[in-house]
Copies of this chain bind each other. A is one copy, B any other.
């Protein structure tokens, strides 16, 4: 893992500009085909991409029952405990409607309602992510979403990971379909004979899923365009190089494009972390992935002061930010952009990934500058309420007609004055 200064780091970073999700014509072709031919197209793409011919996409009760038999009890117990933790945190995010009597005869308000139908994409293939099921479904349930459809690609035998099925059952998913890729996103966005169209699609996926989500955005809502995972650890001389190294390595194991960065003010510490990374790496399962990821994006950056470290972290706007410093809460007010902030040496990222309660679906790729962790608020929406009495409207009338006429929209003005004329008549 390279040690660099902040200038070098920023220079490298500027060369790796944020990549746009580009539009592949093949992704568009898949979407259009699903729109046109529904289930028939879905079946054919599933054969082509997942290598299995399915007579029915829906996961049956029997399959869920079977998963219940296969899966370890310790796992089910853990899933149920995590569910509790997630509910505990996320229920604080539930918003309620409010009304105000603004002045005599004027009532304004904001009505909050759940989104009705939500689609959750869960990646399949080599990786299995039951935790992602919980993280996406539980806030939707708390919001009051009435129908949650989960989609996940089947393996070559037409099965779905039983752990993912258990997580879906515990979280409260309403229906599960064995479909994946851009075709699953299109099916959720437009509906087919068997898949009901949803209002919003959430959940991570590969490049094709991300492209398809961007494409259907507007037709349905989407949560975000997720990029590879990132960690930024700020460490001072009180930090344990062992812990810092372990957390950097845990991030790097995600995939070759994951980013693990440490910012420190102490050169000796930088070297100790570097040595620890090399040492611990030897004991880990996913060494090749970690090595590639660290080579590409793993850096230990030395800066002059903690406040410089915070500035740099704000510039990075990392998905995960760990403050492994003596007084983390003192620096918290200066953190402007980060998906999740971990304070102190006993709050490693993995705690947030799996257990603590806040969502692990977080803005990546610098998008923490404008977006938030997935939350209950992503599954609720607002309607404004306006009620005026006649006399209140008459008081407002001159302002409305002035602006409407200034914009050349005289029928707007007329819709006010016609109510006045009535009064005068």
Chain A residues within CB distance 8 Å of chain B: 18, 20-21, 23, 74-75, 78-79, 81-82, 88-89, 92-93, 98, 100, 102, 106-108, 110-111, 113, 115-116, 127-131, 163, 199-200, 214-221, 225, 240, 242-243, 246-247, 249-250, 252-254, 280, 283-286, 290, 328-329, 332, 335-359, 362-363, 365, 367-373, 375, 377, 381-390, 392-393, 396, 398-400, 402-404, 406-416, 418-419, 422
A190 to chain B, nearest CB (A): 9
Q: Across the interface, do A217 and B217 meet the contact criterion of CB distance under 8 Å?
A: yes
Q: Across the interface, do A412 and B218 meet the contact criterion of CB distance under 8 Å?
A: no
- 5 of the cross-chain contacts (CB-CB < 8 Å) are A115-B370, A130-B407, A347-B386, A356-B386, A368-B383
A178 to chain B, nearest CB (A): 20
Q: Across the interface, do A93 and B116 meet the contact criterion of CB distance under 8 Å?
A: no
Find A214's partner among B218, B332, B377 (CB 8 Å cutoff): B218
Decide: A393 near B246, CB < 8 A? Known: A129-B407, A283-B414, A352-B386: no
Chain B neighbourhood of A410, CB < 8 A: 253, 284-286
* Distance in angstroms between the alpha carbons of A358 and B127 in the assembled complex: 46
Minimal Cβ-Cβ distance residue in B for A362? B384
Decide: A347 near B383, CB < 8 A? Known: A214-B218, A219-B18, A357-B108: no
Q: Rank and list the top 7 A-B pairs by shortest CB-CB distance, nearest first.
A: A358-B384, A221-B370, A372-B382, A343-B387, A246-B415, A340-B384, A350-B412
Decide: A108 near B356, CB < 8 A? Known: A220-B370, A368-B381: yes
Decide: A367 near B253, CB < 8 A? Known: A352-B386, A406-B130: no
* Distance in angstroms between the alpha carbons of A214 and B352 in the assembled complex: 31
Minimal Cβ-Cβ distance residue in B for A18? B219
Decide: A217 near B221, CB < 8 A? Known: A128-B406, A336-B113: no
Find A383's partner among B21, B341, B404 (CB 8 Å cutoff): B341
A106 to chain B, nearest CB (A): 8
Decide: A115 near B382, CB < 8 A? Known: A78-B398, A409-B250, A410-B286: no
Decide: A413 near B346, CB < 8 A? Known: A110-B93, A216-B20, A371-B221: no
Q: Across the interface, do B88 and A348 meet the contact criterion of CB distance under 8 Å?
A: no
Minimal Cβ-Cβ distance residue in B for A287? B411
A391 to chain B, nearest CB (A): 9
* Distance in angstroms between the alpha carbons of A215 and B218 in the assembled complex: 12
Q: Across the interface, do A393 and B354 meet the contact criterion of CB distance under 8 Å?
A: no
Q: Across the interface, do B78 and A369 meet the contact criterion of CB distance under 8 Å?
A: no
Q: Across the interface, do B220 and A225 meet the contact criterion of CB distance under 8 Å?
A: no
Find A335's partner among B89, B286, B383 (CB 8 Å cutoff): B383
* Distance in angstroms between the alpha carbons of A406 and B353 in the assembled complex: 13
